[in-house]
Amino acid sequence: GTVTWGLFLQEENSPKMRVIRVGTRKSQLARIQTDSVVATLKALYPGLQFEISEFSGKELFLVRQIGEKSLFTKELEHALEKNEVDLVVHSLKDLPTVLPPGFTIGAICKRENPHDAVVFHPKFVGKTLETLPEKSVVGTSSLRRAAQLQRKFSHLEFRSIRGNLNTRLRKLDEQQEFSAIILATAGLQRMGWHNRVGQILHPEECMYAVGQGALGVEVRAKDQDILDLVGVLHDPETLLRCIAERAFLRHLEGGCSVPVAVHTAMKDGQLYLTGGVWSLDGSDSIQDTMQATIHVPAQHEDGPEDDPQLVGITARNIPRGPQLAAQNLGISLANLLLSKGAKNILDVARQLNDAH
The arithmetic mean of pLDDT across residues 288-307, rounded, is 74
Work out the number of other CB atoms within 10 angstroms of the CB of residue 53. 15
pTM: 0.90
pLDDT at 74: 81
- Nearest 5°: phi and psi at 286? -130, 125
The better pLDDT of the pair 301, 165 is held by 165
187-200 tens-digit pLDDT? 999 999 999 999 99
Work out the number of other CB atoms within 10 angstroms of the CB of residue 98. 12
pLDDT at 1: 41
Listed residue (233, 204, 257) closest to 316, CA to CA = 233
The residues with which 90 forms a beta bridge, in sequence order, are: 216
The better pLDDT of the pair 350, 251 is held by 251
pLDDT at 204 over 80: yes
Residues 6+ apart with CB under 8 A from 279: 147, 259, 285, 345, 348, 349
Cα(321)–Cα(115) distance, rounded to whole angstroms?
28
pLDDT at 351: 87
pLDDT at 75: 85
The better pLDDT of the pair 179, 13 is held by 179
In one-letter notation, the amino acid at residue 122 is P
- Of the listed ranges 76-85, 251-260, 317-326, the least confidently predicted one is 251-260
pLDDT at 146: 96
Cα(356)–Cα(353) distance, rounded to whole angstroms?
5
Residues serving a catalytic function are 94
Q: How far is CA 23 from CA 35, 106, 125, 313, in A?
A: 11, 15, 38, 19
8 Å CB contact between 216 and 95: yes
pLDDT at 77 over 70: yes
Cα(21)–Cα(50) distance, rounded to whole angstroms?
6
Percent of the chain, pLDDT > 90? 76
8 Å CB contact between 130 and 202: no
pLDDT at 2: 44
Percent of the chain, pLDDT > 70? 86
| pLDDT-based confidence at residue 11 (cuts at 50, 70, 90) | very low
Work out the number of other CB atoms within 10 angstroms of the CB of residue 281. 14
- Of the listed ranges 72-76, 90-94, 126-130, 320-324, the least confidently predicted one is 72-76
pLDDT at 99 over 80: yes
pLDDT at 312 over 70: yes
pLDDT at 10 over 80: no
Laid out side by side, the sheet with 49-55 consists of 49-55, 19-25, 87-91, 215-220, 103-108
pLDDT at 9 over 80: no
Where does residue 116 fall: left (phi above 0), alpha (psi -120 to 50 degrees), or beta otherwise? beta
pLDDT at 71: 56
Question: What sections of the chain are H helices per DSSP?
Answer: 28-44, 68-81, 143-152, 165-174, 185-190, 224-231, 236-252, 320-339, 342-355
Listed residue (145, 108, 142) closest to 129, CA to CA = 145
8 Å CB contact between 22 and 38: yes
pLDDT at 14: 47
Burial of 131: CB neighbours in 10 Å, binned 0-12, 13-18, 19+: exposed
8 Å CB contact between 322 and 297: yes
108-126 tens-digit pLDDT? 999 999 999 999 999 999 9
DSSP string, 129-140: TTTS-TT-EEE-
17-71 tens-digit pLDDT? 689 999 998 889 999 999 999 999 999 999 999 999 998 865 544 443 344 455 5
Residues 6+ apart with CB under 8 A from 25: 31, 54, 55, 56, 57, 72, 76
8 Å CB contact between 8 and 47: yes
Walk me through the domains of the chain, giving residue ranges and CATH numbers: 19-113+210-355 (3.30.160.40), 116-200 (3.40.190.10)
pLDDT at 60: 46
